[in-house]
Amino acid sequence: MIEINLQLLCFMAAALLVVIGLGGMLFLDNIIKKIIAFTLLSDGVNLALVTLGYVEGGIVSILEPGTSAGAFPENAVLIFGPGIVLTNIVIGVSTTAVLVAVTMVLYRRYGTLKASKVLKGERK
Amino acid sequence: MNESISNLWSIPLFIIIPILTAIALNIMYNRKKAISVTAVASSFALVVISALSPFGFHWFTGHPAVLPTGGYTYRADLLGWRLSLEYYYGPLQQIAIFLASLLLLFVVMISIKSLKKNIGPYISLLFLTFMSSAIVIMVNDFYHMWIGVEIGSLIVAGVVLASGEAVSQKAALKYTFFSALSGAGLAIALALILGVTGYSNISDAIKAMPLSNGSLASILYVAFGFTVLSWVYAGGLAPIHPLKADVYGASFPHATVLLQAQSKLMLVAIGLLLLRVFGTLPFAKEVMLSISVLTMMLGVVMAMLQTDFRWTLAYLIVSHSGLVTLGISLGTVQGIIGGLFQAINDVVYMSVLLLACEGVYYFGRGTSIKSVSGIAKRAPWLAIAAILGAFAASGVPPFNGFQSEIILIQASLNYGMPELAIVVLMVSVTTFIALFKGIYNIFLRPDDALNNNEKTGTPVPKILYACLAALIFITVLFGVYPQLAINFLTEAALKVVYIPWVP
């Protein structure tokens, strides 16, 4: 029997966000909606990364005076996850900026945000 | 091992110099003289640093490997935990970065000559393309590998957009969407490996890999799948090869020189990572080999169908990426040497062909085989360069393509898969046909307009001929004396096969 805890719930939420984002990117026709779907996908990945380092009742991963050296490795949360999330947020913002910029250029050229029309080179 | 025993000074320079130059060029924007001096000086400095730098490590968290008994070791082959974001500059990295910086220098000089406006931002993107290649080929941790691939993808979109055509804008949009997908995939792979092993450093992760644990091994398969996705994406392998071909075809040909070099270095870096980390998983090599064969076949077939020389080259670059990955996927020392040598050669001879294609643009009628002809009469040296490049790409002796393809064929036969050798031969022959279809029509076919004394376009700049001459020299040099390049590649191949935890 799988025990339902906060970490599992967070992983499920992350998987849901990734699936919604992936579905939106692949199946929605509006480019702006595709970009929003990408941000959902990115958030899902971020949630998965943060959840990875979660330790129930854990302590901050800084060895402070008075902390038991023996208990520290077992109780300290994994700090790499949040570190990667910070980078992923920056990369996500940069990618979104590039996508929005290209979308603006294409909208000026074709007068539509429909990916199917833009990629075929049809005007509105 | 010839590593220095402290943080190597040159490694940060390969990252910092391109970034600072990019910032400076952006500020200069359109001041052509200042941009020319800064860009050429910076790219020349990168060539010199890559040639003169000793081999060694750079640890971004400040210390080398920690021994199980305590204390540090500077020796890469000893069992120690590295626990750091680590870069390594060895023989493979030296030849790869030297070639990339040389191409950067050539492309910068040609861009300055050929572009009229927004030169600063455009050349700054070229420097960042070089930087992302350098990161990916030197890095020994998953975290920086992921960042390198992500940055590289965004920069590629910028370089493609710079050509300003509708086709380039559409290519950039599609490419950026897929970069978002594969970037997320690589981040998930990183998270899974981190969760299973607890380490971001690739050497540490390999040593901590729980292959005997069934439930954790299944997680590793998922991580392998996501890493393969990013490999396929970064290198433009099948089944998403049309995306990468769009990117190559929609950029300026001189920019494609740098883009294809970046793509090959990413293929090599992620391919070697896949072998080192997941090489012992059942079916891993088979999956990689299948993707390679599919890429080669689809690439050459698509190249044969093109009527624009630029697009023929775009699909041939994709197809020859399959040759590179074939060698790496075999996972034998000979195969890996063949794959790495093919990557180096491919970058050089494709650059010759792309620069010859750039030369055709100066005649003002595009690069379609239907609209342009008779160039050989007006620019015989350009035609000779294109023909020599085509010989090299088709694996004709004494050019470099012959040497790497013969190693790949021998490696396939020794691996017990003669059918792979046949595919390599087929790619060579088809490349020859596809290239000479374009070269005959563009350079050799008599031109009616030319016969009527109608002259269009502008003279091809001398710098383009100088770059072509230098690249053809390298093509012949590696063809006549392949050991010159192979000496740089053997160490990396031996490490991947026998001591995969050593970067």
Q: What is the pLDDT of residues B471-502, one digit of tens each?
A: 999 999 999 999 999 999 999 999 999 888 88
DSSP string, B47-58: HHHHHH---EEE
CB contact (8 A) between residue B177 and residue A38:
yes
Using the predicted structure, report yes or no on whether residue B338 has a pLDDT greater than 60: yes
Distance, CA of B362 to CA of B229 (rounded, Å): 39
Q: Which of A47-51, A84-88, B15-19, B197-201 has the lowest mean pLDDT?
A: B197-201
Sign of the torsion angle spanned by Cα atoms B103, B108, B113, B117:
positive
Query: Distance (Å, rounded) from C-alpha A39 to C-alpha A46?
Result: 10
8 A C-beta contact, residue B160 and residue B250: yes
**Tell me: the pLDDT tens digits for B408-448?**
999 999 999 999 999 999 999 999 999 999 999 999 988 76
Amino acid letter for position B198: G
Compute the nearest-CA separation of B456 from chain A (Å). 29
Predicted TM-score of the model (pTM): 0.92
Count of C-beta atoms within a 10 Å radius of residue B70? 6
> How do the domains of chain B map onto residue ranges?
10-498
Query: Can you say whether residue B453 is alpha, beta or left, with left for phi > 0 and alpha for psi between -120 and 50 degrees?
Result: left
User: For the stretch B426-453, what's the b/e string if a residue is b when 16 or more beta carbons lie within 10 angstroms of its beta carbon?
Assistant: ebbebbbebbbbbbebbbbeebeebeee
Contact B191 A45 (CB under 8 A): yes
Characterise B188 by phi-psi region: left (phi > 0), alpha (psi -120 to 50), beta (else): alpha
C-alpha span between A76 and B255 (Å, rounded): 48
SS3 B70: coil
Q: Which of B143, B157, B195 sits opposite A98 (nearest CB)?
A: B157
Q: Are B146 and B223 in contact (CB under 8 A)?
A: no
Residue B232 has a pLDDT of 93
Contact list in A for residue B177 (CB cut-off 8 A) is: 25, 34, 38, 99
Instruction: State whether CATH 3.40.50.2300 applies to domain A6-120.
Output: no
pLDDT of residue B203: 87
Q: What is the ipTM of this complex?
A: 0.84
Decide: B65 and B82 in contact? Cβ < 8 Å.
Answer: yes
Structure confidence by residue, pLDDT tens digits, A64-115: 777 776 677 677 777 777 888 888 899 999 999 999 999 999 999 899 999 9
**Among the listed residues B362, B355, B351, the one whose alpha carbon sits nearest the alpha carbon of residue B460:** B362
- Residue A112, SS3 per DSSP: coil
Q: Is the pLDDT of residue B366 over 50?
A: yes
Taking the CA atoms of B395, B399, B405 and B411 in sequence, report the sign of the dihedral they define.
positive
**Binary contact (A41, B184; C-beta < 8 A):** yes
Confidence category of residue B1, pLDDT binned at 50, 70, 90: very low
Q: HSE-up of B499 (CA within 13 Å, CB side)? A: 11
Does the distance separating the beta carbons of B147 and A87 come in below 8 Å?
Answer: yes
Amino acid at A53: G
Query: Is B177's CB within 8 Å of A49's CB?
Result: no
Q: Say if CB B14 and CB B116 are below 8 A apart.
A: no
Q: Tell me: the pLDDT tens digits for B239-250? A: 888 888 899 988
Task: Give every CB contact of residue B384 below 8 A, 6+ residues apart in sequence.
Answer: none
The alpha carbon torsion through B315, B320, B323, B326 (nearest 10 deg) reads -40
CA distance A102 to chain B (A): 6
Chosen from A98, A120, A123 to mutate, greatest number of chain B CBs within 10 A: A98
**pLDDT tops 80 at residue B65:** no
Q: Report the mean per-residue pLDDT for chain B.
A: 89
Residue with tokens 């050991």: B483
Looking only at Cα atoms, what is the longest distance across chain A?
Answer: 69
Rounded distance between C-alpha atoms, residue B459 and residue B481, angstroms: 35
Q: Is the pLDDT of residue B229 over 80?
A: yes
pLDDT of residue B2: 40
Interface of A with B (CB under 8 A): 18, 22, 25, 31, 34, 38, 41-42, 45, 48-49, 52, 78, 80-81, 83-84, 87-88, 91, 94-95, 98-99, 102-103, 105-106, 109, 118-119, 121
Q: Using CB atoms within 10 Å of the CB of residue B208, give its burial: 0 to 12 exposed, 13 to 18 middle, 19+ buried.
A: middle
Q: What are phi and psi of B368, to 5 degrees?
A: -75, 140
Residues B381-417 have pLDDT tens digits of 999 999 999 999 999 999 999 999 999 999 999 999 9
Closest alpha carbon to B115 in B241, B285, B254 = B254
β-pairing verdict for B72-73 and B65-66: antiparallel
Find out whether B76 and B426 touch, Cβ atoms under 8 Å. Answer: no
The shortest CB-CB distance from A84 to any of B158, B172, B187 is to B187
- What is the percent of chain A with per-residue pLDDT over 70, rounded to a whole number? 90
- The pLDDT of residue B3 is 44
Query: How do beta strands B56-59 and B86-89 pair?
Result: antiparallel
- For residue B332, the SS3 value is coil
Gap between the Cα atoms of B81 and A91, Å rounded: 29
What the block records as the tokens of B218 is: 């299944």
Residues B78-111 pLDDT 10s: 667 776 788 999 999 999 999 999 999 999 999 9
Q: Between the CA of residue B361 and those of B167, B378, B461, what are the distances in Å?
A: 17, 13, 11
Q: Do B173 and A106 touch (CB under 8 A)?
A: yes
Find out whether B257 and B200 touch, Cβ atoms under 8 Å. no
pLDDT level of residue A122 (50, 70, 90 thresholds): low
Mean pLDDT of B218-232: 90
Structure tokens belonging to residue B339: 């794959």
Angle at A18 between CA A13 and CA A20, to 5 degrees: 95
Residue B381 structure tokens? 């040296």
Query: What sections of B279-372 are H helices per DSSP?
Result: 284-305, 309-330, 333-361
Distance separating the N- and C-terminal Cα atoms of chain B: 11
Of all residues in chain B, the one with the smallest CA distance to A35 is: B177
Q: Report the gap between the CA of A38 and the closest CA in chain B (Å).
A: 7
Among the partner-chain residues A25, A49, A83, the one whose CB lies closest to the CB of B181 is A25
Q: Give which of B178, B136, B151 is closest to B273, Cα–Cα.
A: B136
- Give the bridge partners for B86, in sequence order: B59
